[in-house]
């Protein structure tokens, strides 16, 4: 408890912009206050009362309050806030959080819950680093194994690790924390939420090419869904997405027969009425087309055409279509490669209204533009687009196109008698041969 007490005093002091020397003046020494804040000393009741007065609060904030009605009310507010954060509902989050006064919370742990919610919202809702409260949360995270905390605070601290990892694009950690979060939800018997957390874990492992971890989660999740299908709500539709992810994993392991078999399951499913299912169905068609490009160009073209048709069905619904950046960029690249510029120009116009925040999606688009400029004979524009795409691939965690772009740049410079540049990109391609 002394560590909680010290962290809380420090939190209140720093939030009010008061120095240690000013708070301790005439009461205790600076070093004694420092030891209190570090949890090494426990102040007497008289000192704590005076510190609380100087921090413009009461000493009851540091201890458990007997007001169960107020505690229940504040806990309900926190749970609602957490739910709004997970849904991405900014307005309701603000309105609900405003119902509680930080300096009138019933106990110290509720202060940490409040701090955790605000920090999570910074990452999840506002896509920015956690605010000044994060220092206090970091101290708490370091001590969490030795402290007894409530179920809600444990869940919030775990979720904080998730949103922080996602924000920093640390996909291995995000996958790990989502998996741990899923285990916690399963203990609570929140099985739909458990499936969502495990699916997020799988996706993050795929983003960093940890195929073994992703494959293990896919297998366990498929078995769990089939065993608990009668208990599930919308989460049962995750089986459909799992077919796509399983196919994607097999494809990246060069197990093309198994990959095509997994993708084919998506053709027979009736779950595609779900929008997320439609999105994964389009991607499965593109993946199958990509597999057949070097085997059967006619069959590849038919898969890409089916994907294009399915994609265009959503072109009128800009709100949901906004998130279709990956299928758009990959279709655009294919139609540039086969010199179908009517379709590629249509897709390029639509790209202005689609989310292309992922480095890979931007690289696909730029590589496609380079092929179009090559067709027109604009060598310099072609090189410019290729170099921009290469920069994005260096930033990307997956680096899906990096070898293809380097080989293309090497060939372009070789054909222009710029042998040093051609050699540079060829060497860079070889160095990334394992990707």
- The answer to whether the beta carbons of residues 92 and 84 sit under 8 Å apart is yes
Average pLDDT over residues 418-431: 86
* pLDDT (0 to 100) of residue 101: 80
Position 47 scores a pLDDT of 85
pLDDT at 1 over 50: no
Compute the chain's Rg from CA coordinates. 27
Residue 315 has pLDDT above 80, yes or no: no
The architecture (CATH level 2) of 2-62 comes to Orthogonal Bundle (1.10)
pLDDT tens readout for residues 399-423: 878 889 999 999 999 888 888 888 9
Whole-angstrom distance, CA of residue 261 vs CA of residue 248: 11
Q: Which pLDDT belongs to residue 352?
A: 82
Q: Percent of the chain scored above 90 by pLDDT? A: 40
Return the pLDDT at 337: 93
Q: Which region among 72-86, 159-173, 315-329, 353-367 has the lowest average model confidence (pLDDT)? A: 315-329
Q: What is the dihedral of CA 184, 188, 189, 192, to 10 degrees?
A: -60
**Secondary structure in 3-state letters for the chain:** CHHHHHHHHHHHHHHCCCCHHHHHCCCCCHHHHHHHHCCCCCCCHHHHHHHHHHCCCCHHHHCCCCCHHHHHHHHHHHHHHHHHHHHCCHHHHHHHHCCCCHHHCCCHHHHHHHHHHHHHHHHHCCCCCCCCCHHHHHHHHHHHHHCCCCHHHHHHHHHHHHHHHHHCCCHHHHHHHHHHHHHHHHHCCCHHHHHHHHHHHHHHHHHCCCHHHHHHHHHHHHHHHHHCHHHCCHHHHHHHHHHHHHHHHHHHCCCHHHHHHHHHHHHHCCHHHCHHHHHHHHHHHHHHHHHHCCCCHHHHHHHHHHHHHHHHCCCCCHHHHCCCHHHHHHHHHHHHHCCCHHHHHHHHHHHHHCCCCCHHHHHHHHHHHHHHHHHHCCHHHHHHHHHHHHHHHHHCCCCCCHHHHHHHHHHHHHHCCCHHHHHHHHHHHHHCCCC
Residue 225, by phi and psi: left (phi above 0), alpha (psi -120 to 50) or beta? alpha
Rounded to whole angstroms, how far apart are CA atoms 186 and 205?
Answer: 20
pTM > 0.85: yes or no: no
Average pLDDT, the chain: 85
Instruction: Identify the pLDDT of residue 194.
Output: 93
Q: How far is CA 227 from CA 185, 231, 432, in A?
A: 17, 9, 42
pLDDT of 317 reads 64
For range 357-364, the mean pLDDT: 87
pLDDT in tens, 229-261: 788 777 777 888 888 999 999 998 889 999 999
**pLDDT at residue 365, as a whole number:** 92
pLDDT interval class at 370 (50, 70, 90): very high
Higher-confidence residue: 68 or 424? Answer: 424
Is pLDDT of 266 > 70?
A: yes
Q: Which residue has the higher pLDDT, 10 or 79?
A: 79
Q: What is the pLDDT of residues 268-283, one digit of tens each?
A: 755 545 667 788 899 9
For the segment 181-199, the average pLDDT, to the nearest whole number, is 92
Mean pLDDT of 85-103: 88
Taking residues 330-349, report their average pLDDT.
93
Q: Is the per-residue pLDDT at 65 higher than 60? A: no
Please give the Cα distance from 23 to 21 (Å, whole number).
Answer: 6
* 223, pLDDT greater than 60: yes
CA–CA separation, 204 and 227 (whole Å): 25
Task: Parse the chain into domains and list their residue ranges.
Answer: 2-62, 68-153, 170-232
Residue-wise pLDDT for 129-150, tens only, equals 766 667 767 766 776 665 567 8
Q: Higher-confidence residue: 43 or 103?
A: 43
- Say if residue 375's pLDDT is above 80: yes
């Amino acid at each position: 408890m002394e560590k909680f007490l010290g962290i809380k005093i420090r939190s209140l002091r720093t939030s009010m912009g008061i120095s240690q020397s000013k708070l301790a003046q005439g009461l205790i020494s600076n070093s004694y206050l420092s030891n209190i804040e570090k949890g090494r000393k426990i102040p007497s009741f008289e000192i704590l009362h005076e510190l609380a007065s100087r921090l413009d609060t009461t000493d009851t904030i540091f201890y458990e309050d007997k007001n169960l009605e107020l505690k229940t009310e504040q806990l309900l507010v926190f749970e609602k806030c957490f739910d709004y954060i997970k849904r991405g509902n900014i307005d309701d989050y603000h309105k609900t959080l405003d119902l509680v006064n930080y300096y009138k919370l019933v106990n110290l742990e509720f202060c940490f819950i409040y701090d955790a919610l605000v920090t999570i919202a910074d990452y999840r809702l506002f896509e920015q680093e956690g605010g000044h409260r994060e220092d206090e949360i970091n101290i708490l995270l370091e001590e969490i194994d030795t402290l007894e905390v409530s179920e809600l605070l444990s869940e919030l601290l775990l979720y904080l690790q998730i949103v922080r990892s996602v924000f920093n694009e640390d996909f291995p950690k995000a996958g790990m924390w989502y998996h741990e979060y899923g285990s916690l939800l399963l203990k609570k018997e929140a099985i739909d939420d458990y499936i969502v957390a495990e699916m997020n874990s799988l996706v993050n492992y795929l983003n960093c090419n940890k195929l073994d971890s992703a494959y293990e989660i896919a297998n366990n999740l498929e078995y769990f869904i089939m065993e608990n299908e009668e208990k599930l709500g919308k989460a049962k539709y995750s089986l459909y997405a799992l077919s796509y992810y399983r196919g994607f994993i097999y494809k990246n392991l060069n197990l093309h027969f198994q990959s095509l078999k997994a993708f084919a399951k998506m053709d027979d499913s009736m779950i595609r009425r779900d929008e997320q299912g439609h999105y994964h169905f389009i991607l499965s068609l593109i993946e199958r087309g990509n597999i057949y490009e070097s085997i059967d160009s006619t069959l590849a073209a038919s898969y890409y055409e089916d994907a294009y048709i399915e994609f265009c069905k959503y072109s009128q619904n800009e709100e949901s279509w906004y998130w279709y950046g990956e299928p758009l960029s990959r279709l655009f690249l294919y139609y540039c490669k086969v010199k179908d510029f009517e379709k590629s120009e249509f897709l390029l116009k639509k790209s202005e209204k689609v989310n292309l925040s992922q480095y890979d999606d931007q690289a696909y688009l730029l590589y496609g533009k380079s092929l179009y400029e090559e067709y027109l004979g604009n060598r310099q524009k072609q090189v410019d687009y290729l170099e921009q795409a290469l920069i994005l691939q260096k930033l990307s965690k997956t680096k899906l196109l990096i070898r293809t772009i380097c080989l293309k740049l090497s060939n372009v410079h070789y054909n222009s008698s710029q042998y040093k540049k051609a050699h540079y990109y060829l060497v860079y391609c070889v160095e990334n041969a394992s990707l």
